[in-house]
A and B are shown apart, each in its own frame.
Chain A
Amino acid sequence: MQLTFWTPGSKASLIVAMMATLLLYQTAEPATTTSATVLQQCPSIEEEIVDLEMLSQALRDSTAVGLFEKIKLKGSIDDLVKRLEAYHDGARKFSIEQLEEQYNVLLMRIASHLQNKDQLLHQQLCNAWLTIWLDLEDSGRFREKFST
């Protein structure tokens, strides 16, 4: 007795189905960045922060953060950019997951400074959290932003 699904015609369609599955798997969207699943209710704002440079500038101008803290935060942001630059240049001291964690915890630190003190900048930070990371994570976009 011959099983129907082993006929040459069905075998071909099975292969086609498998190839289609593989193709779908390869072209599937990469997993969404984790912070996107958390920061779902950031208040809507008119003036948006779109990159790390804008965030640094806004932090410099904010009265919520003291001078010493501003210098420390600026140093931490610069250090993170250097580590990302090294990563995009091929260094593998830190994995991209570690760098993302460093970015998230640094932004948690910045948010702690701003919340209850600079509402607007805190809301801008909430909205920009994911966007900034997408620029930092992508090698091409990172070079566009930070190439001198």
Chain B
Amino acid sequence: MITNRLKTSLLLRCPPAVLILAFAAVCVGCSKEKPPSHEDIIRGDFEEILDLNEQKCDGIVGFEKISDLEYLVACGNGESYRIHVSHEGHVNVAPHDP
């Protein structure tokens, strides 16, 4: 009986629109994307570089910095690539045999 009264009074005090808005706010908060990590940012750029150079990858699973502007990138399909910048600023992508 007390709980029924409580429910009624709550519903009376909070119109449905307010409840819907509160629920929506909670949902938006939950679905907010986690900010990308450093690795996520680098991976995203490498994926596009490989794509531009017509190299298949199926998602980058790891990368390693070899030297200045030179990386080894490991792909989901088992391939790995060497990505490096030449002295003239040209980005070269070549399959790498471990």
Binding site for B on A (CB under 8 A): 34-35, 37-43, 76, 93-94, 98, 101-102, 104-106, 108-109, 111-113, 115, 122-123, 125-126, 129
Contacts and interface: CB of A to CB of B under 8 A. Distances in A.
Contacts of B46: 105
A37 B87 CA distance: 9
Interface in B12-35: 35
B83 A37 contact: no
B90 A98 contact: no
Given A38-B87, A126-B89, A108 B69 contact: yes
A43 B89 CA distance: 9
Interface in B31-66: 35, 38, 41-42, 45-46, 48-49, 52-53, 65
18 contacts: A39-B69, A39-B87, A39-B88, A40-B87, A41-B88, A42-B87, A102-B41, A102-B45, A104-B69, A108-B49, A108-B85, A109-B48, A109-B49, A109-B52, A111-B91, A112-B53, A115-B90, A125-B89
B38 A108 contact: no
B33 to A, nearest CB: 13
B38 A43 contact: no
B89 A129 contact: yes
Given A39-B85, A126-B88, A112 B68 contact: no
B91 to A, nearest CB: 5
Contact of B68 (A37, A41, A76, A94): A37
Nearest to B69: A38
A112 B88 contact: no
Nearest to A102: B41
B52 to A, nearest CB: 4
A111 B87 contact: no
A106 B47 CA distance: 11
A108 B45 contact: yes
Contacts of A35: 68-69, 85
A118 B33 CA distance: 35
Given A34-B68, A109-B48, 19 more contacts: A34-B69, A38-B68, A40-B87, A42-B87, A76-B45, A101-B38, A101-B65, A102-B38, A106-B45, A108-B49, A108-B69, A108-B91, A112-B52, A112-B53, A112-B91, A122-B89, A126-B88, A126-B89, A129-B89
